[in-house]
């Protein structure tokens, strides 16, 4: 797998302002953990230091051959993950619609049965021995990315008496410095559970929610193998993708 990095200098200058009403308030009691996680005092916006925005650079030159193939990157030789196979693709864009090249994108998810592979998992669905649930890739010169995986399942979580998370994939977008990281989630077109999720319902604008939903693209499928979903990520501007960890701006 090529590095796909360039010597293009980073863009400098003012960023486009974000629309705070586009994002959920920090305190949303319907999403129970926000009660303790939300700030208790007024927010402060701090500029990044030179060391934070320029380094350390990591991950861009050590990608494995199967890092963008979750169907096989944890599987035994000759075997593969269980579940409906899909391709997820799209572009990483700035506020003007221009592609952002050379960005490290990590993704992680539950398996087809809705279970994560970690020690504190509370859901009793079966683990898939051939599915690790994580991978990464680098965006191309036009900001494009793609990876193969299985469609994750929904799962219950201890927020309310009977709350379930809709099927989703987590995305982590890294820039060229340690502090340049943004986290979001992707949902699937046509899933009725999206609109019942307490986390999703904290977002006040339906259009913002729809921007988190990947569109089924039957023109990009792999015949007799995998469906395709298209998910673009907008980094900045008044209609940027909703990020969980940078509500004040990116």
- Annotated active-site positions, please? 116, 155, 165, 168, 170
Residue 77 has φ and ψ, to the nearest 5°, of -55, 130
DSSP 243: -
Residue 89 has φ and ψ, to the nearest 5°, of -145, 165
Residue 36 has φ and ψ, to the nearest 5°, of -90, -25
Residue 194 has φ and ψ, to the nearest 5°, of -55, -45
Tokens of residue 76, six digits: 């035994």
Question: For residue 227, how many other CB atoms are within 10 A of its CB?
Answer: 17
Q: Is the peptide bond before 56 cis (omega within 30 degrees of 0)?
A: yes
DSSP 151: P
| CA pair distance 28, 35, nearest whole angstrom | 7
Tokens of residue 99, six digits: 């592609």
Query: Do the Cβ atoms of 59 and 187 come closer than 8 Å?
Result: no
Which residues are bridge partners to 216 per DSSP?
229
Q: Is 157 left (phi over 0), alpha (psi -120 to 50) or beta?
A: beta
Tokens of residue 8, six digits: 């293009």
């Amino acid at each position: 797998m090529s590095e796909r990095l360039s010597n293009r200098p980073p863009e400098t200058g003012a960023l486009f302002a974000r629309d705070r009403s586009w994002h959920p308030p920090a305190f949303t009691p319907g999403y129970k953990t926000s009660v303790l996680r939300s700030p208790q005092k007024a927010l402060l916006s701090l500029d990044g230091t030179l060391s934070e925005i320029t380094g350390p650079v990591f991950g861009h030159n050590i990608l494995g051959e199967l890092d963008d193939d979750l169907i096989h990157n944890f599987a035994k030789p000759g075997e593969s993950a269980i579940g409906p196979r899909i391709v997820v693709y799209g572009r990483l864009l700035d506020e003007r619609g221009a592609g952002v090249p050379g960005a490290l994108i990590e993704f992680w998810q539950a398996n087809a049965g809705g279970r994560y592979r970690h020690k504190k998992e509370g859901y009793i669905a079966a683990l898939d021995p051939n599915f690790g649930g994580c991978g990464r890739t680098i965006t191309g010169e036009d900001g494009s990315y793609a990876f193969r995986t299985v469609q994750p399942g929904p799962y219950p979580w201890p927020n309310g008496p009977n709350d379930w998370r809709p099927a989703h994939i987590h995305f982590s977008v890294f820039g060229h410095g340690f502090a340049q990281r943004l986290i979001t989630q992707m949902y699937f077109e046509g899933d009725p559970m999206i609109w019942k999720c307490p986390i999703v319902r904290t977002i006040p604008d339906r259009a913002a929610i729809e921007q988190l939903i990947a569109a089924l693209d039957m023109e990009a499928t792999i015949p007799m193998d995998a469906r395709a979903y298209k998910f673009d990520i907008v980094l900045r501007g008044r209609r940027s993708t909703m990020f969980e960890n940078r509500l004040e701006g990116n």
